[in-house]
Amino acid sequence: MNKNDRAPLFHVAKRGALPWYQAWAIRGAALILALILCGIITSLVTKLNPLSVYAAIWKGSFGTSRKFWVLLQNIAMLLCVSLAVTPAFRMRCWNLGAEGQALIGALASAACMILLANKLPNWAVIVCMTVSSVVAGAIWAGIPAFFKAKWNTNETLFTLMMNYVATQLVAYYCVVWESPKGSATIGIINSKTEIGWFPVLGGQKYLLNILIVAVVCVAMFVYLRYSKHGYEIAVVGESERTARYVGIKVERVIIRTMLLSGAVCGLAGLLLVGGTNHTLTPTIVDGRGFTAVMVSWLAKFNPVWMIFTSFLLVFLGRGAGEITTNFGLNHSFGDILTGIILFFIIGSEFFINYQIKLTRKGRKEE
CA dihedral 151, 155, 161, 162 (to 10 degrees): 90
Q: How far is the CB of 21 from other proteins (least distance, A)?
A: 22
Residue span binding other proteins (CB under 8 A) among the ranges 60-68, 192-200, 234-242, 287-295:
287-295
**Sites for other proteins among residues 77-106 (CB under 8 A):** 94, 96
Gap between the Cα atoms of 86 and 15, Å rounded: 25
Q: Is 168 in the site for other proteins (CB under 8 A)?
A: yes
Q: Is 70 in the site for other proteins (CB under 8 A)?
A: no
Contacts of 154 (CB under 8 A, 6+ apart): 148
Q: How far is the CB of 157 from other proteins (least distance, A)?
A: 5
**Sites for other proteins among residues 220-259 (CB under 8 A):** none
Return the exposure string of 83-93: e unless at least 16 CB atoms fall within 10 Å of the residue's CB, then b. bbbbbbbbbeb
Residue 302: exposure state from Cβ atoms within 10 A (0-12, 13-18, ≥19): middle
Gap between the Cα atoms of 137 and 155, Å rounded: 16
Q: Is 343 in the site for other proteins (CB under 8 A)?
A: yes
Q: Which is nearer to other proteins, 62 or 290 (CB)?
A: 290
Q: Which is nearer to other proteins, 58 or 164 (CB)?
A: 164
Q: Is 1 in the site for other proteins (CB under 8 A)?
A: no
Q: How far is the CB of 203 from other proteins (least distance, A)?
A: 35
Residue span binding other proteins (CB under 8 A) among the ranges 62-70, 189-197, 213-221, 291-299:
291-299
Q: Is 34 in the site for other proteins (CB under 8 A)?
A: no
Exactly one of 40, 161, 218, 356 binds other proteins (CB under 8 A); which one? 161
Q: Is 10 in the site for other proteins (CB under 8 A)?
A: no
Per-residue binding letters, 136-155, with other proteins (x by CB under 8 A): -----------x---xxxx-
Tell me if 254 sits within 8 A of 91, measured CB to CB. Answer: yes
Q: Is 157 in the site for other proteins (CB under 8 A)?
A: yes
Q: Is 115 in the site for other proteins (CB under 8 A)?
A: no
Question: Binders of other proteins: how many residues, by CB under 8 A?
Answer: 55
Q: Is 349 in the site for other proteins (CB under 8 A)?
A: yes
For residue 330, the 8-state DSSP code is -
Q: Is 26 in the site for other proteins (CB under 8 A)?
A: no
Q: How far is the CB of 292 from other proteins (least distance, A)?
A: 10
Q: Residue 109's closest CA among 142, 148, 135, 72?
A: 135
Contacts of 148 (CB under 8 A, 6+ apart): 93, 154, 155, 158, 254, 258
Q: How far is the CB of 340 from other proteins (least distance, A)?
A: 7
Q: How far is the CB of 282 from other proteins (least distance, A)?
A: 9
Exactly one of 346, 356, 357, 364 binds other proteins (CB under 8 A); which one? 346
Q: Is 169 in the site for other proteins (CB under 8 A)?
A: yes
CB atoms within 10 A of CB 4: 6
**Sites for other proteins among residues 297-336 (CB under 8 A):** 297, 328-336
Torsional class of 132: left (φ above 0), alpha (ψ -120 to 50), beta (otherwise): alpha
Question: Which string of DSSP letters, residue by residue, matches 114-136?
Answer: HHHTTTS-HHHHHHHHHHHHHHH
Decide the pairing of beta strands 10-14 and 354-358: antiparallel
Angle (CA) 11 16 17, round 5°: 135
Residue span binding other proteins (CB under 8 A) among the ranges 9-17, 72-80, 101-109, 113-121:
9-17
Instruction: Give me the sign of the Cα torsion angle 100, 104, 109, 113.
Output: positive
Q: How far is the CB of 200 from other proteins (least distance, A)?
A: 33
In single-letter form, the type of residue at position 246 comes to V
CA dihedral 29, 35, 37, 42 (to 10 degrees): 180
CB atoms within 10 A of CB 228: 9
Which chain residues interact with other proteins by CB under 8 A? 12-14, 45, 94, 96, 147, 151-154, 156-158, 160-165, 168-169, 171-176, 184, 287, 290-291, 293-294, 297, 328-336, 338-340, 342-343, 346-347, 349-350, 353-354
